[in-house]
């Protein structure tokens, strides 16, 4: 009997991939997946809540940013921009339109726009129970909105009380549980005369922002974060102001413009009983004192204990004596001596700013602005420099303060004597003539041993008359004497001029002779004039001169 032969193929055992080959196959799969074209997603597949968030952020993205010069938001302009954004979004598609129409918060934010009863009722219907923003641009709210506010103060989230209506009588003694921002302004002497300082206070437990101009009303706002008072000196005594600030421990931003009376001319307004009183504002980030005198600043700051990291801006309304500037420096010593401040910016309109190099525009800084007399700004710097931390100013920006028409070499040298040794970057701007004698003069009192970068910016496209190669003589001599060995970067910006180009070529020769490692970064642009020429015969031509 013949043996049966098993004709089945022997079972082949799978050998697991080696790690390297498995990784290669995985990479190939990822590459194939990346080559596939993505399938477009329909707007209808987006979740309703996600679309509501998209619409909301698209609307508020049009809000104007705040300015450091005017630390007051512009709600009137904001609601006009928001309304325009809502209109454009509603035109995208039917679903966008339904989302915009059903977004109660967006409709509540533009409640100040309608001028008719029907329009305002429509906004009320779509905003449901969301607190309303009753604000308009330039004018007070309309009659329907005013009537609604009187009867339903609990529905108001933001109120602009800028009109001749008697808002003081209406708001005094009322409760506003939803109010977060209040703008109170007297636009006439009649409304200002109706202010009663002893009237009952407005209870606003959620109030975050308060702006009062030519007006005042007692307010209980324990959560207040931003307070702006403009031209309230006649209505608000320093003692009453201290009482207000003592009840706002969460205050982050304080702006007082034409509100603090001078101590020398109005000594009675500053009560002697307030001596030694301290107000603690641990959360304060920005302080603005505008149109004040030095003695007022010193007196006001003596009552406050605030973080030394807070930014301070002071605008003086009169030219002060040297002794008064010294007193301000003493009062602001904790702020001037912040280790993070390493940049000093000086401008020709009597402006000085001490800040952190590379910081954002809204970052804290110490800013002092005096009357528009450039010859006095260096006197201020001279008196304030002893209060800066020694050898901490590494960046010095002089702007146009060294222009020929106003340049006083002796004042500049005295002002920069304490600052110069630590300066690593020096920036100047040129319009009339390049003036660097405080740096380049061999007999100058000021020495810049740490200087590594020099920046020069020519502002005018066309070279002014009177400028020439001689103004470069000092810089060329300094480069031969010190600069070629010391500088690391010579940065040129603005516009090219023929004489400047010739002098720059001579400086390059000096650097080559001394084998200097100084790098010249020339980012100046060339100004060309386009001339439209129409000949008698032939087509018109345009050529560059």
pLDDT for the residue 339: 87
Mean pLDDT of 172-178: 91
Q: Is the whole model's pTM more than 0.85, yes or no?
A: no
Partnered with residue 456 across adjacent β-strands are 428, 492
Who contacts 212 (Cβ-Cβ below 8 Å, separation ≥6)?
Answer: 184, 185, 228, 229, 230, 232
Cα Rg for the chain, rounded, in angstroms?
A: 33
Highest mean pLDDT among 307-321, 357-371, 464-478: 307-321
pLDDT for the residue 416: 92
pLDDT tens digit string along 486-513? 999 999 998 888 888 888 899 999 999 9
Report the 3 state secondary structure along 194-252.
Answer: CCCCCCCCEECCCCCEEEEECCCCCEECCCCCEEEEECCCCCCCHHHHHHHHHCCCCCC
Q: Which phi-psi region, left, alpha or beta, contains residue 231 (left: φ > 0; alpha: ψ -120 to 50)? A: left
The pair of structure tokens assigned to 540 is 């018109």
Residue with tokens 């280790």: 339
Greatest CA span in the chain, whole angstroms? Answer: 136
Determine contact, residues 417/452, Cβ cutoff 8 Å.
Answer: no
How are beta strands 519-522 and 279-280 bridged, if at all? unpaired
pLDDT tens digit string along 253-287? 999 998 888 776 666 666 555 656 789 999 999 99
Determine contact, residues 447/420, Cβ cutoff 8 Å.
Answer: yes
Q: How far apart are CA 255 and CA 118, in angstroms?
A: 39
Determine contact, residues 387/336, Cβ cutoff 8 Å.
Answer: yes
- Could you tell me the residue ranges of all domains in the chain? 47-137
The pair of structure tokens assigned to 121 is 């009722």
């Amino acid at each position: 009997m013949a043996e049966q032969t098993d004709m089945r193929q022997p079972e082949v055992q799978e050998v697991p991939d080696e790690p390297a080959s498995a990784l290669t196959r995985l990479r190939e799969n990822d590459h194939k997946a990346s080559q596939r074209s993505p399938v477009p997603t329909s707007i209808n597949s987006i979740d309703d809540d996600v679309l509501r968030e998209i619409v909301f952020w698209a609307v508020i993205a049009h809000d104007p940013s705040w300015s450091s010069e005017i630390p007051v938001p512009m709600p009137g302009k904001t609601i006009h921009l928001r309304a325009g954004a809502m209109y454009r979004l509603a035109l995208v598609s039917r679903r966008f339109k339904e989302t915009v129409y059903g977004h109660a918060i967006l409709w509540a934010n533009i409640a100040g726009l309608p001028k008719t009863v029907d329009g305002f009722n429509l906004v009320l219907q779509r905003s449901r129970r969301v607190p309303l923003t009753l604000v308009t641009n330039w004018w007070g709210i309309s009659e329907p909105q005013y009537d609604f506010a009187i009867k339903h103060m609990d529905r108001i989230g933001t109120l602009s009380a800028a009109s001749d209506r008697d808002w003081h009588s209406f708001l005094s003694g009322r409760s506003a549980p939803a109010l977060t921002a209040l703008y109170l302004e007297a636009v006439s002497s009649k409304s200002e005369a109706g202010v009663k300082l002893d009237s009952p206070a407005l209870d606003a437990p959620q109030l975050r922002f308060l702006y009062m101009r030519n007006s005042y009303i007692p307010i209980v706002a324990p959560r207040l974060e931003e307070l702006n008072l403009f031209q309230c000196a006649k209505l608000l005594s320093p003692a009453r102001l201290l009482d207000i600030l003592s009840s706002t421990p969460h205050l982050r931003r304080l702006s007082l413009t034409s509100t603090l009376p001078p101590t020398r001319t109005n000594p009675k307004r500053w009560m002697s009983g307030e001596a030694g009183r301290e107000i603690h504002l641990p959360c304060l980030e920005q302080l603005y004192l505008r149109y004040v005198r030095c003695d007022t600043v010193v007196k006001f700051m003596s009552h406050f204990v605030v973080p030394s990291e807070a930014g301070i801006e002071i605008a003086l309304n009169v030219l002060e004596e040297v002794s008064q500037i010294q007193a301000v420096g003493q009062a602001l010593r904790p702020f001037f001596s912040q280790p993070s401040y390493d940049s000093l910016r000086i401008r020709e309109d009597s402006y000085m700013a001490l800040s952190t190099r590379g910081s954002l525009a809204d970052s804290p800084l110490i800013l002092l602005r005096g009357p528009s007399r450039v010859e006095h700004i260096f006197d201020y710097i001279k008196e304030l420099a002893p209060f800066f931390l020694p050898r901490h100013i590494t960046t010095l920006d002089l702007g146009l303060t060294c222009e020929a028409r106003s340049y006083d070499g002796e004042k500049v040298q005295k002002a920069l004597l304490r600052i110069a040794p630590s300066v690593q970057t020096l920036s100047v701007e040129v319009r009339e003539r390049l003036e660097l004698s405080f740096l380049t003069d061999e007999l100058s009192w000021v020495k810049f041993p740490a200087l590594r970068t020099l920046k020069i910016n020519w502002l005018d496209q066309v070279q002014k008359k009177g400028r020439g190669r001689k103004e470069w003589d000092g810089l060329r001599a300094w480069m031969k004497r010190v600069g070629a060995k010391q500088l690391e970067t010579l940065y040129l910006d603005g516009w090219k001029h023929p004489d400047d180009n010739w002098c720059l070529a001579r400086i390059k020769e000096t650097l080559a002779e001394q084998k200097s490692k100084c790098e010249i970064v020339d980012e100046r642009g060339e100004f060309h004039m386009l001339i439209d020429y129409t000949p008698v015969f032939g087509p018109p031509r345009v050529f560059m001169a």
